[in-house]
Chain A
C-alpha cells in the first residue's frame, strides 16, 4: 500500500491541433481492454468504443472549411463541486460504478452491474456502452486477449477505465522497489502511448512535476461564478467538454483554433465573445 500524502487525480489533455483522426488511440484501447466488436460494425449506435473519435467541422463552405478530430474517452468526471458525485456514479442504484477518491478514476464493477442503463442515460458524453451481445472473438483471437483485463458479459455496461490495470501494475512496481511514488512514465494509458502524433498527455493533475499539470494548470478553487465548476484550466487554449454542466471532467482538450474551443460547450448569443480569451469556458452568469 502506498501512503501518498496527497491523493492522485489522474487526467489527460488532448491536443486537438496534433490529432490527425487516425484512430490509433481507439484501436489500441480496444486491444488493450479486450473490447469486443460485432460481426457487422456498420451501426455505430450499439458498437462499443471506449475511445471514440468525433469529427468536428467549422461548418464553413469551401475553401474555408476546417476539420478537427476529438478523441473522447470517459471523462472521469469529478461531479458537481468535484466531490466525486459524477453524473453516472451518483445514479447507479447498485453501486456498480464508483469514484476512486485516491485516483479520481471512475470505475465500473462488471460483476455487480445488472444492466439498468441509468448511468448511460445520465452521462452526457455517451462514454458508456452496453453489452447488447455476449462477446465473440474470431477463432484464435482469444489467444491475444489481455490477461490483465476481464472480458465482459452480455447485459452489463462498460466504459474507459483509464487503463486501471496499468495503474495497478505501476503501483505494484513502485511498492516492490520500495518507493512511495509512481513515476509519471510508469502509468500511462494505452491510447497515450499509442498515439503517433503525441497528441495525448496523461498524468496526475495534482502533481506539479507532471506534464499534464503543467499544460492544464488546473485552478484548485471553484469558479467564482459557478461554484459547481472546479479545476478549470488556467491555460487559455485549454478547455473541457460541457464544462458549464458542472460535471468536472478530468479530460482536457487543447487547441489554438477558436472555433474548436467554442465547440466544447454551448453558448448563448454573445456569451462566447466575453469568454473566448479568458481561460476555460463560460461561467454560469
Chain B
C-alpha cells in the first residue's frame, strides 16, 4: 500500500501489520496525552509532587532522556569533527534518537511548569546567574540544530528525493553538516553541563552541592562527560532493539565495536572522575558543613548505600571495563549486558541528582521525604517512550536510516539461500 514510500530495495513488514503495531503503541501514547491534558487543564495537583518534592519523576525523566540523547552530539562530534568516517553508518540513527530525546525533554518541561503559558518568561526575564536559564537557551538552540541535522535524512525519502530541490537541499545540507555538528557539540557541552550545575549550585542542599571551577560546580563537567560517555551506549541499545524487532542486522559489527570502544573509554575515565568527586564530597565538602556520609544513606526506607554502589560500581565501572576489554566488547552478550548496565547507570545518576536530593533532610529536625508518583505522572513519563517508538518505526520504514542495511541483508539473503 505504501510501497512507493519505502526505500528502494528495502524489505518492510506489511502495512496492516505496521499499522497494528502503531495502533498499540498509539493507545499508550493517547493515555499519556490524556494525562498531559489533565495536568495542563487541572494543574499540577494531578501529580503526587509536593512542597518537599518540587522536582520529581518528570524532572528525572527529563534529565535522563537528555543524558541518553547525548549520543547524538557525541557521535556527530566524532564523525564530523574528528572525522571517524565509519560512524556515518550510525549517525542518522543517533540523530533521530537525539531528536526524540530532546523533543521529549522540551515537552516534559512544558508539562512540568506550573504556568505553561508563561514558559517564555525564562527567555524574556532571563536571570543570567541561573543554571536553568542556560539550560533553557542551550536546549532550545540545540533542538533546532538537531532538527536541521534530521532534515536531510527526511528529504532522502524515496518520493521527496525525486523533487530536485529537496534532492539538492539534502545534498548541500550534508556538505555543511560539520558546522552544525560543531555547533551542536558546543551547545550540548553547555546544556548538559548546566543540567549538572542545576544540582551542583544548590549550596543549601549539601547532598547536591559541589565545589568547582569558577562559576561551574564539578557536577557541570561530570554531566557533560557522562552524557558523552553513556549516550552512545543508548544509541547502541536502541539499534540492538531495532535489529531485534526487525529481525535484521542494520549496522556492521566494526561500527558497533568502534562506538562501544569509544564509549567504554569515556565511561571508564568518567568513572575515575566521578569516584574522585564522590570521595572529595564525602570527605571534605559534606563534613565541612557538618554532615557525615551516613546522613545521606541511612534512616530511611529506600535510599541506602546500595544506590551508590549500583551507580558507581555495578552500572559504571563494570560496563566501562566490559567495553574497554576487546574480548568482552566483541562478545554480543557481554556487550549487551554492558550497554544495558551503562544506560541504567546514567539514569540512576540522574535519579540520585534529582530525587535523592529532594528526599534528604537538611534541617536537623526534619525527616526524610519519600514520594510515590501518581498515575498521571507515570503516564506522562511513558508518553515520550511511546512517541519515540512511533517516530523510530516511521523513520525506519520510510527513510534510509541505516546505510548498511541493504548490503548486510542482501548478503544474509544470499547466505541463507
Contacts and interface: CB of A to CB of B under 8 A. Distances in A.
Verify that A and B bind, or say they do not.
yes
Contacts of A121: 54-55, 202, 205, 357-358
B293 to A, nearest CB: 11
Interface string B128-149: 0111110010000000000000
A285 B137 CA distance: 39
Contacts of B198: 91, 118
Contact of B52 (A45, A54, A94, A284): A45
B127 A92 contact: yes
A124 B205 contact: yes
A78 interface: no
B17 interface: no
Interface string A137-161: 0000000000000000111110000
A133 B287 CA distance: 39
Contacts of A265: 290, 364
B289 A115 contact: no
B125 A87 contact: no
A279 B165 CA distance: 77
A93 B133 contact: yes
Contact of B114 (A85, A123, A130): A130
Contact of B54 (A85, A93, A130, A247): A130
B364 A87 contact: no
A266 interface: yes
B115 A114 contact: yes
B292 A91 contact: no
Contacts of B116: 114
A80 interface: yes
A124 B201 contact: no
B303 to A, nearest CB: 17
B247 interface: no
Contacts of A264: 364
A96 B125 CA distance: 8
A46 to B, nearest CB: 4
Interface in A99-119: 112-118
B114 A114 contact: yes
Contact of B130 (A118, A134, A241): A118
B392 to A, nearest CB: 30
A117 B132 CA distance: 11
A163 B86 CA distance: 65
B206 interface: yes
Given A90-B130, A121-B202, A282-B290, A96 B121 contact: yes
A94 B43 contact: no
Interface in B262-289: 287-289
B2 interface: no
Nearest to A79: B203
Interface size class, chain A = 35 or more
Contacts of B365: 54-56, 70, 263
Nearest to A38: B45
A228 to B, nearest CB: 8
Contacts of A120: 51, 54
Given A90-B201, A122-B204, A95 B125 contact: yes
Interface string A244-272: 11110000000000000001111110010
Nearest to B357: A121
A91 B364 contact: no
A261 B363 CA distance: 13
B51 A133 contact: no
A129 interface: yes
A124 B362 contact: yes
A260 B186 CA distance: 51
B369 interface: yes
Interface centre among B51, B126, B129, B131 (most CB of A within 10 A): B51
A194 interface: no
Contact of B121 (A90, A112, A154, A242): A112
Given A247-B204, A268-B292, A133 B45 contact: yes
B113 interface: yes
A265 B363 CA distance: 7
A55 to B, nearest CB: 8
A132 interface: yes
A155 B49 CA distance: 13
A125 interface: yes
Nearest to A272: B290
A94 B289 contact: no
A213 interface: no
A282 B132 CA distance: 32
A131 B130 CA distance: 22
Interface string B10-52: 0000000000000000000000000000000001110001111
Interface in B89-131: 112-116, 118-119, 121-122, 124-127, 129-131
A14 B198 CA distance: 33
Contact of A91 (B53, B119, B201, B287): B201
A284 B206 CA distance: 14
A132 B45 contact: yes
B291 interface: yes
Given A70-B365, A90-B129, A93-B126, A130 B44 contact: yes
B297 to A, nearest CB: 15
A45 B51 contact: yes
Contact of A93 (B52, B132, B366): B132
Contacts of A96: 121, 125
A217 interface: no
B132 A91 contact: yes
B204 A114 contact: no
Nearest to B44: A132
A85 B204 contact: no
A128 interface: yes
A55 B366 CA distance: 10
11 contacts: A46-B51, A90-B130, A91-B131, A91-B198, A114-B114, A124-B204, A128-B51, A155-B44, A155-B115, A244-B289, A263-B365
Given A120-B51, A157-B114, A266-B289, 9 more contacts: A45-B53, A94-B124, A96-B125, A114-B115, A118-B55, A118-B198, A268-B287, A284-B289, A285-B288
Interface of B: 43-45, 49-55, 112-116, 118-119, 121-122, 124-127, 129-133, 136, 198, 201-206, 287-292, 295, 357-358, 362-366, 369
Closest A-B pairs by Cβ, 6 of them: A115-B114, A155-B114, A266-B290, A117-B54, A124-B204, A114-B118
